[in-house]
């Protein structure tokens, strides 16, 4: 009879229908109790709420009782609907508004439920009349058509009231829809800024790699070719050309490394598994890759997973003093879990430029990145990437 509305947390299957129905019926009784509370509190505290000198203390007493009733409603939602709400203390105004709205919705639900019970009784009487052959066919069809329409409206009313009950609980016991929307906007703005910073940092790193690495090697290659062309001794010229040939191979390899750090074309042609195999082959450390993924992955997820592994493995090879790196890539439902663990000295800075860029890249697809690197090791980088 009602939907499952977790306040904030991971989605979980709804409880059985009989349990939800019992929760809705109990909600009708608690609404009656709330109505009696407002009637008694209004009679006892009404005058004190109107007098400015006693208004504050009377309001405190009114809200104290309302919070107890609200706590009972929270318990009802947790037990019968399996809702899980975050630690959140509603304001006095929210408590009073929730209890008043909940009282109205609960009493209306009781009225609609009573009409449904009355309809079932009338349906039983109709069936008895048919059994005694006291109803004609035309009258029977008319009663069935009217009863079907009323049953449809009654059931729709119950579902609507159940949805209203869930929405009221979310707004009081957990972040409201407006607050959740504001949080989401803030998260998107932060992730966009992080992506911009990560892209800018990556561009600067590529520029440094090209300037300090590839460009310097190309200058050296040009000097070798110039010396070979000016050499008068054929033997010396051959030696310089051989050295230039070796240097050109190293330049090509370094240029390929830079291109892979910008974007690995193997992702498009061979997939994530083969691209990670390329990372393991190019690393100076032994890298073991355990890959357990069935089915295709969204391209943004593949790209993020690749860069998490590539950056983590590169950091381990350059800074950790590790002797071994283990990479685990597992898909569990709609989440791709990427875990990179090295046995190095630890002490990695989670806010460093490389890891901060990874965090921004992962956050851009609503993922999560965790870096655990105590001094003395080991270092473990874990990313959870949603595949939806």
Helices then strands, counting H and E runs in the chain, come out as 11, 5
Q: Are 275 and 308 in contact (CB under 8 A)?
A: no
CA–CA distance, 92 with 75 (Å, rounded to integer) = 19
Q: If you average pLDDT over residues 14-22, what whole number do you get?
A: 87
Which residue, 339, 337, 345, is CA-closest to 373? 345
Q: In this model, does residue 185 exceed pLDDT 90?
A: no
- The helix/strand/coil state of 217 is helix
Q: In this model, does residue 134 exceed pLDDT 90?
A: no
Least reliable range by pLDDT among 130-144, 274-288, 293-307: 130-144
**Inter-CA distances, 12 with 15, 80, 293, 309, 312, Å:** 9, 14, 23, 31, 33
Least reliable range by pLDDT among 59-63, 102-106, 323-327, 352-356: 352-356
Q: In this model, does residue 302 exceed pLDDT 80?
A: yes
Q: Count how many Cα atoms sit within 13 Å of the Cα of residue 195 in the half-sphere of its side chain.
A: 14
pLDDT higher at 87 or 366: 366
Cα dihedral sign, 21-27-32-33: positive
Structure tokens at 305: 């997973």
Which residue, 125, 119, 124, is CA-closest to 148? 119
Structure tokens at 61: 């007493």
pTM value is: 0.49
CA–CA distance, 40 with 42 (Å, rounded to integer) = 5
Specify the pLDDT at position 232: 78
Which residue, 250, 314, 255, is CA-closest to 279? 314
CA–CA distance, 106 with 223 (Å, rounded to integer) = 87
Q: In this model, does residue 6 exceed pLDDT 70?
A: no
Q: If you average pLDDT over residues 264-283, what whole number do you get?
A: 79
Q: In this model, does residue 37 exceed pLDDT 60?
A: yes
Specify the pLDDT at position 292: 87
Strands 368-372 and 335-342: unpaired
Tell me what percent of the residues of the chain surpass a pLDDT of 90: 12
Q: In this model, does residue 381 exceed pLDDT 50?
A: yes
CA–CA distance, 9 with 367 (Å, rounded to integer) = 15
Structure tokens at 214: 């590839």
| Mean pLDDT of all residues belonging to the chain | 81
- The fold of the 267-388 domain, in CATH, is Heat Shock Protein 90 (3.30.565)
Specify the pLDDT at position 7: 40
Specify the pLDDT at position 257: 66
Q: If you average pLDDT over residues 119-132, what whole number do you get?
A: 80
Q: In this model, does residue 3 exceed pLDDT 60?
A: no
Q: Are 82 and 23 in contact (CB under 8 A)?
A: no
Specify the pLDDT at position 151: 86
Q: If you average pLDDT over residues 266-294, what whole number do you get?
A: 82
Which run of H or of E encompasses 249? helix 234-262
Which residue, 235, 91, 220, 109, is CA-closest to 162? 109
For the chain, the structural domain boundaries read 17-175, 194-262, 267-388
CA–CA distance, 330 with 342 (Å, rounded to integer) = 18
Which run of H or of E encompasses 206? helix 177-208
Q: If you average pLDDT over residues 55-84, what whole number do you get?
A: 89
Q: In this model, does residue 14 exceed pLDDT 80?
A: no
Specify the pLDDT at position 177: 62
Q: In this model, does residue 124 exceed pLDDT 60?
A: yes
Q: In this model, does residue 11 exceed pLDDT 60?
A: no
Residue with tokens 């959140």: 88
CA–CA distance, 131 with 124 (Å, rounded to integer) = 11
Q: In this model, does residue 5 exceed pLDDT 60?
A: no
pLDDT digits (tens, 9 = 90+) for 197-244: 666 666 777 777 677 777 777 777 788 788 777 877 788 778 878 877
């Amino acid at each position: 009879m009602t939907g499952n509305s977790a306040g904030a947390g991971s989605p979980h299957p709804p409880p059985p229908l009989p349990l939800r129905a019992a929760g809705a019926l109990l909600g009708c009784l608690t609404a009656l109790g709330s109505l009696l509370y407002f009637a008694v509190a209004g009679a006892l505290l009404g005058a004190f709420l109107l007098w400015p000198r006693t208004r504050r203390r009377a309001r405190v007493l009114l809200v104290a009782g309302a919070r107890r009733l609200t706590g009972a409603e929270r318990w009802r939602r947790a037990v019968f609907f399996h809702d899980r709400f975050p630690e959140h203390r509603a304001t006095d105004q929210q408590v009073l508004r929730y209890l008043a709205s909940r009282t109205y919705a609960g009493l209306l639900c009781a009225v609609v439920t009573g009409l449904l019970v009355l309809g079932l009784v009338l349906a039983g009487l109709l069936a008895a009349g048919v059994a005694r052959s006291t109803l004609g066919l035309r009258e029977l069809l008319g009663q069935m058509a009217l009863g079907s329409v009323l049953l449809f409206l009654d059931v729709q009313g119950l579902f609507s009231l159940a949805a209203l009950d869930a929405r009221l609980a979310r707004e009081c016991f957990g972040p409201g829809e407006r607050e959740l929307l504001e949080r989401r906007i803030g998260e998107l703005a932060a992730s966009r800024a992080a992506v911009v910073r990560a892209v800018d940092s990556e561009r600067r790193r590529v520029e440094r790699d090209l300037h300090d690495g590839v460009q310097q090697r190309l200058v050296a290659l040009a000097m070798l070719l110039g010396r070979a062309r000016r050499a008068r001794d054929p033997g010396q010229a051959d030696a310089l050309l051989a050295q230039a040939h070796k240097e050109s191979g190293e330049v090509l390899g370094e240029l390929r490394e830079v291109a892979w750090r910008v974007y690995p074309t193997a992702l498009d042609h061979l997939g994530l598994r083969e691209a990670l195999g390329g990372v393991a082959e190019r690393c100076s450390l032994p890298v073991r890759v355990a890959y357990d993924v069935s089915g295709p992955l969204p391209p943004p997820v593949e790209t993020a997973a690749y860069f998490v592994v590539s950056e983590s493995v590169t950091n381990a090879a350059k800074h950790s003093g590790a002797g071994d790196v283990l990479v685990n890539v597992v898909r569990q439902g709609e989440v791709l879990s990427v875990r990179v663990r090295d046995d190095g000295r630890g002490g990695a800075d989670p806010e460093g430029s490389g890891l901060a860029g990874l965090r921004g890249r992962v956050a851009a697809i609503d993922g999560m990145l965790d870096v655990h690197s105590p001094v003395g090791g080991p270092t473990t980088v874990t990313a959870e990437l949603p595949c939806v």
